[in-house]
Amino acid sequence: MTDLATMRESALTRIEEAQDAAALESLRVELLGKQGSISGLMKTLGKMSPEERQSEAPKIQGLRSDVADAIAAKKDALDAAELERRLASETLDLTLPEPQSPKGSVHPVSQVMDELAEIFADLGFSVATGPEIEDDWHNFTALNMAETHPARAMHDTFYFPDVDSEGRRMLLRTHTSPVQIRSMVKQGAPIRIIAPGRVYRSDSDATHTPMFHQVEGLVIDKDINLGHLKWTLETFLKAFFERDDIVLRLRPSYFPFTEPSVEVDVGWQDVNGRRVLGGDGDAPGHGWMELLGSGMVNRRVIEFAGLDPDEWQGFAFGVGVDRLAMLKYGMDDLRAFFDGDQRWLDHYGFSPFDQPTLSAGVGASA
């Protein structure tokens, strides 16, 4: 009896004096844990006579619940004291600027590709892709550049050293034009695609990098003529540069895969010493800038792709995506596109939440 009273007093005093949560927890284990002293007392109930048990059980159970309550109350008190201490010692300066967490941004090349997809989707084009490791046939031969064709030499091609089992030497595609062939072979006609992607040439200076980006356009249908080409390019460039005064000049040119071929120039004007696209290039203080290559798809190319050129005609164009980005967003060194310099990316990158749309504008604000 007195034992129980002593135990209670000692337990409650020790609980009251516990300094912290860890001390309180070890006390709980010592008293109420499986091997704890109060748990031990509970086990003695089994060996008692029924009468003894009847009188002892409520006391022991009472002791156990009082101790459990005291531990719970002490825990609340310790938690509250800890919170008080932290509130008193920790301060939050609400006048400080928000901490800057590192933010990713959309690279201008990706941004421009998204803009192109948005604009051309509206004209009924879908996006096609092809491999960057190409074979000679798709990159050259099927585009009407036979083995000995001089245009091959102009491409500064990266070839792989080995020849495959069929005797083919693979290469890094030098342009996105092979996707024209792959798309025609795969899906037949009619066809309306753009094919943006990486291309490779052994060349490097401020406006050339060994890897760069192009977008290819291809339309194959019935009775397609140069007028369709011109309208499509004009509509695309007005939407892309977000100006209605874009003026194009079509010049006769030569590409093996188009006949006739046209080089497309766009008019620019001098605005405070900067060349800004827009306006008639022939006006005083204005000029023309070469922008892209295009033309009516050569009959031979249509045949190579397995279609009948008497039934199907079309036009194609190819333009540098990096160049489009430079003209629209004002960068002057192409090499910086691929340096991964954080300052450049912070300056020229785009918010991932700013999606190009025709209604809200394709050129998102940086």
| Residues found near ligand DAH in the complex (CB under 6 A) | 175, 177, 216, 255, 258, 293-295, 316-318
| Centroid of chain to Cα 296 | 35
CB of 208 to ligand DAH, least distance (A): 12
When the beta carbons of 240 and 255 are compared against ligand DAH, the nearer one is: 255
196-to-47, 113, 126, 187, 253 alpha-carbon distances in Å: 86, 7, 11, 18, 23
Query: Of 240, 110, 343, whose CA–CA distance to 232 is shortest?
Result: 240
Paired residues of 318 in beta bridges: 216, 293
CB of 140 to ligand DAH, least distance (A): 11
When the beta carbons of 105 and 180 are compared against ligand DAH, the nearer one is: 180
Distance CA 55, CA 15 (A): 27
**259 is an annotated ligand-binding site residue:** yes
Residue whose beta carbon is closest to ligand DAH: 318
CB of 249 to ligand DAH, least distance (A): 16
Q: Count of H helices and E strands in the chain?
A: 12, 11
Q: How many CB atoms lie within 10 A of CB 135?
A: 18
CB of 317 to ligand DAH, least distance (A): 5
**Cβ pair 114, 354 in contact under 8 A:** no
When the beta carbons of 197 and 295 are compared against ligand DAH, the nearer one is: 295
When the beta carbons of 29 and 154 are compared against ligand DAH, the nearer one is: 154
Distance CA 34, CA 285 (A): 94
Concatenated DSSP letters for 113-167?
HHHHHHHHHHTT-EE----SEEEHHHHTGGGT--TT-HHHHTT---EEEEE-TTS
What is the token pair recorded at 207? 């406006």
When the beta carbons of 201 and 328 are compared against ligand DAH, the nearer one is: 201
CB of 176 to ligand DAH, least distance (A): 7
Binding-site residue positions = 259
Binding-site residue positions for Mg(2+) = 259
